[in-house]
Structure 1
Amino acid sequence: MIKLLDKPLKAFIIYSFVVLLCSIPVYFLMVDWIWVHEVKAHNQIVAESTKKHLIDLRMDDRQVGESVALWNKLQPDTKLQQVPSIRPDSTYDIYRKNKYIPIKGYDRFQGLVTYFAINGKPYSLTIESNLEESYETIAGITAITIGFFIILLLGFIKLNKRISARLWRPFYQTLEKIKAFDLNMQHQISFEPSGIIEFDEMNTSISNLVASNVAVYRHQKEFVENAAHELQTPLAIVQSKLDVLFQNQEITNEQAILIEKIQNGLSRVSRINKNLLLLAKIENQQFLEKEQIDIGEALDEVHSLLSDFEEEATLHLEVGAKVVVDANKMLVETMLTNLLMNAIRHSAHPAEIRISLFNNCLTVTNPGTAGLNSEKLFKRFSSVSKLTPGSGLGLSIVREICVRYHWNVSYVYLNQLHTFTVDFGSLSVNS
């Protein structure tokens, strides 16, 4: 993954590097052309000056011959000699081994051959200039260019990050507020004006979206809570009427069986109703009372309360270090009861269920023939087992309690064992 700010920066760096590579041969050709042009002009000036001085001396043939010999001795890089005829001037390039510094190898020379007449006799003058310095000049310019390119690039990267960080600060502030937003808290998100049209429009759209979702969520919670409250009384009335009818001695066996099935279904509906009320109260922050609770002691109490299920499952409790949490006692007991009842309900009877409390983690393990759907496991009314459907709210309540106190609940199926783990994290107190 790469940050949005780094994407254009990467493209700019690649583009700059390509431009630098392309500029090197351009520098070479341009500097070489300028250097050759200047050397040609220099050779032309030296040749014209030399010819003018030789002609202006007005020497006779003997003096000219002596001067030519002396010139060739004094100027070994040039050559003055008599030729059969006068020809047009010409230039040439030649590589010749450096006779003064052999270790340097071959040097490049630019030569000029020009013709003129002294006392009516044709002469040629050859002048050569070393072009080796052009390569040194090109190398120097290239090195300086690369150095300044690196300085410019580093400065551009640093400047771009500083400017981008300042320009994108409103975006990251918005992102942090969205990350911290919790729909269960039902609070609105407020954004400060950034002075940038795009960010202000984004913040306005997010605020409207959050307000709409909070309103819908609040209405749904109110509906569930009101419906659960309203159902309590009629459910209690129906249950009492069924109890009276069941005690009637005039009913037949078939009617008694039918009434018993109705009572079982009604009990399940009553449990769902109570669980929905409990979820609504948890989400509405109605369990504000907190106290120091020893998880080990709470497990002992729940274990003793579930002793009636010994025929269905055997509970093995192992408690290591003492773990104390700051929470509501009723919610902690509800979470523990739901975890253990879930293990009992979804195990083949009789079952061996192991409960351990070590390293700030509570683990409940029970045998099973197939793993559960982790994505739907903690959702409301999700069916984790077709054989024992339950109310579909027990694990949802466990998750809501863990979310409330910032604990982490997880599930894994390995070696035909279901394992639920509650990690109390740094909020717990070990002693």
Structure 2
Amino acid sequence: MNKLLDKPLRLFTLYAFLVLACSVPAYFAIIDYIWLNEINEHNHIVSESTKKNLQALKLNDQELKQSILLWNRLKPETQLREVSALKADSLYNLYRKNQYIPAKGYDRFQGRVSYFELNGKKYSLTVETNVEETHETILAITAVTVFFFIVLLTGFILLNKRISSRLWKPFYHSLGQIKSFDLNSQVRPVFEKTDIAEFMEMNQSLNKLIEGNIMAYRQQREFTENASHELQTPMAIVQSKLDLLLQDPSVSSRQSRLIDQIQAALSRVSRINKNLLLLARMENQQFREKERTNLTALLEEVLELSEDFAYERGLKLKTRIEENITKACNKMLFEIMVSNLLMNAVLHSEHQGSIEVLLDQQQLRISNQGSVALLEDKLFKRFSTASSQNPGTGLGLAIVREICMNHNWQVAYDFQQGRHTFSVLFAENGIQN
């Protein structure tokens, strides 16, 4: 995970490297251009001064010839030659093997050829100058530039860490307070005072948000505590009244059927109410208590209670349960989860089919025979029916998903080779391990 301030620093570093890479050829071109101009100017000065000095000496032809021979021997890089016609001055650039230091290889020369007239004869004057090794100079400049670039970059990194540790201290303090905040404890976090406007505004917004969450949590908790009594009591009264009405000898068979239908609907409403209350309590984190539980023994108890219901539907239970599988979980929620998965398997199983239950260190898996795959986009949604053939309350699998989220587990569904399979994968790095 990258920190916020590291990202711009990396981009700045990359940009600096690109600028440094582009500067090397720019150095080469600029220095080479300056040196050549300076050498050309030097050659021009030498050429002009030589011509003027020769003209000022006023030598005769014999003296001039001897002087030219001596000059060419002493200074081979400035050649004086007699030519047939005068031409415009010209420049040339060439590489030639070093005559004095053969191991050095080839040297670069910048030359100038100029023409003049002396004693009625035409002459050309060639002046050459050795060009300094541009590559060596550029290499030295690049090395110095890279050195100071590394020094500058190291300073940026150290300063960035030092400044960010102080600059972002209020932010990390606020972040730590948010991480440790628990709705159940109702203890409001205390944010560090800061003179940075952005962090101050953030802390004020967090205080408002937390205050609103605490108020909403209190209201929901009060609702969950009161709803059970307020709703269950009238439903129990209605149920008892219906039971008394059924015992009345004056009730006709038609009225009895109507009462049975009312009781079935009332029973469904009661189940929905209990499931909704359970979901609300889980969402309000009222089942945070977890203890090391032997899932093997707990699963066997639930299977024993569900065995008769499965046999009534003509189903066989096949189990593969490893011994002493223990996880940190809420015992009641685990029982509810297994019961809902088993109930779902029974409802969606074909007659005379089988239900397979597997429990090992990694997962709990329950599968049953079926002809049509369930609608995966509606499986874990509240009041959604995953199959039109066996409609239920639409809350069983939603409760299973909520329980898995409460324990940091994962629930998955698969349909292959005519079998529905629900798998609860136990987290590898959760508090339950």
TM-score, structure 2 as length reference: 0.78
Shift, 1:249, TM fit = 1.2
Select which of 320, 323, 326 maps to 2:322: 320
Q: 1:118-141, CA deviations, whole angstroms, 9 ceiling, x for partnerless residues?
A: xx6667572422354354356436
Q: Which residue type is aligned with residue 269 of structure 1?
A: V
Q: Say if 1:360 and 1:428, in contact at 8 Å, map to a contact too.
A: no
Q: Say if 1:111 and 1:129, in contact at 8 Å, map to a contact too.
A: yes
Shift, 1:11, TM fit = 5.4
Hey, what does 2:361 align to over in structure 1? 359
Hey, what does 1:350 align to over in structure 2? 352
Q: Which residue type is aligned with residue 300 of structure 1?
A: E
User: For residues 421 and 164 of structure 2, what CA distance do their matches in structure 1 show?
Assistant: 45
Hey, what does 2:414 align to over in structure 1? 413
| Paired residues, number | 425
What secondary structure is seen at the aligned counterpart in 1 of 2:414?
Answer: strand
Shift, 1:341, TM fit = 1.8
User: For residues 194 and 385 of structure 1, what CA distance do their matches in structure 2 show?
Assistant: 57
Shift in CA distance, 17/121, structure 1 to aligned 2, threshold 3 Å:
same
User: For residues 418 and 176 of structure 1, what CA distance do their matches in structure 2 show?
Assistant: 44
Shift in CA distance, 264/106, structure 1 to aligned 2, threshold 3 Å:
same
Shift in CA distance, 83/306, structure 1 to aligned 2, threshold 3 Å:
closer
Deviates more, 1:100-109 or 1:90-99: 100-109
Q: Which residue type is aligned with residue 242 of structure 1?
A: L
Q: Which residue type is aligned with residue 250 of structure 1?
A: S
Shift, 1:52, TM fit = 7.0
Q: 1:318-360, CA deviations, whole angstroms, 9 ceiling, x for partnerless residues?
A: 1124212344543333332222222212323333111111124
Hey, what does 1:255 align to over in structure 2? 255
User: For residues 84 and 308 of structure 2, what CA distance do their matches in structure 1 show?
Assistant: 133
User: For residues 227 and 131 of structure 1, what CA distance do their matches in structure 2 show?
Assistant: 100
Q: 1:272-322, CA deviations, whole angstroms, 9 ceiling, x for partnerless residues?
A: 233344445555666677655321112222122123211213221211242
User: For residues 285 and 111 of structure 1, what CA distance do their matches in structure 2 show?
Assistant: 92
- Extract unaligned runs of 5+ from structure 1: none
Q: Say if 1:228 and 1:276, in contact at 8 Å, map to a contact too.
A: no
Q: 1:226-283, CA deviations, whole angstroms, 9 ceiling, x for partnerless residues?
A: 2232012111111111011101111111000000101111111222233344445555
Deviates more, 1:174-183 or 1:188-197: 174-183
Hey, what does 1:69 align to over in structure 2? 69
Hey, what does 1:192 align to over in structure 2? 192
Hey, what does 1:227 align to over in structure 2? 227
Shift in CA distance, 359/330, structure 1 to aligned 2, threshold 3 Å:
closer
Q: Which residue type is aligned with residue 355 of structure 1?
A: V
Q: Which residue type is aligned with residue 258 of structure 1?
A: L
Shift in CA distance, 282/106, structure 1 to aligned 2, threshold 3 Å:
closer
User: For residues 369 and 222 of structure 1, what CA distance do their matches in structure 2 show?
Assistant: 45
Hey, what does 2:383 align to over in structure 1? 381
Q: Which residue type is aligned with residue 322 of structure 1?
A: N
Shift, 1:146, TM fit = 6.7
User: For residues 98 and 137 of structure 1, what CA distance do their matches in structure 2 show?
Assistant: 18
Deviates more, 1:236-245 or 1:26-35: 26-35
Hey, what does 1:129 align to over in structure 2? 128
Shift, 1:186, TM fit = 6.7
Shift in CA distance, 151/90, structure 1 to aligned 2, threshold 3 Å:
same
Q: Which residue type is aligned with residue 200 of structure 1?
A: M
Q: 1:376-404, CA deviations, whole angstroms, 9 ceiling, x for partnerless residues?
A: 53444343333433333333443444444
User: For residues 321 and 99 of structure 1, what CA distance do their matches in structure 2 show?
Assistant: 90
User: For residues 177 and 26 of structure 1, what CA distance do their matches in structure 2 show?
Assistant: 53
Q: Which residue type is aligned with residue 334 of structure 2?
A: V
Hey, what does 1:275 align to over in structure 2? 275
Query: Once superposed, what is the RMSD of the aligned Cα atoms?
Result: 4.2
User: For residues 201 and 324 of structure 1, what CA distance do their matches in structure 2 show?
Assistant: 47
Q: 1:11-47, CA deviations, whole angstroms, 9 ceiling, x for partnerless residues?
A: 5456546645654554344323321232234334544
Q: Say if 1:246 and 1:259, in contact at 8 Å, map to a contact too.
A: yes
TM-score, structure 1 as length reference: 0.79
Shift, 1:370, TM fit = 3.7
Q: Say if 2:375 and 2:387, in contact at 8 Å, map to a contact too.
A: no
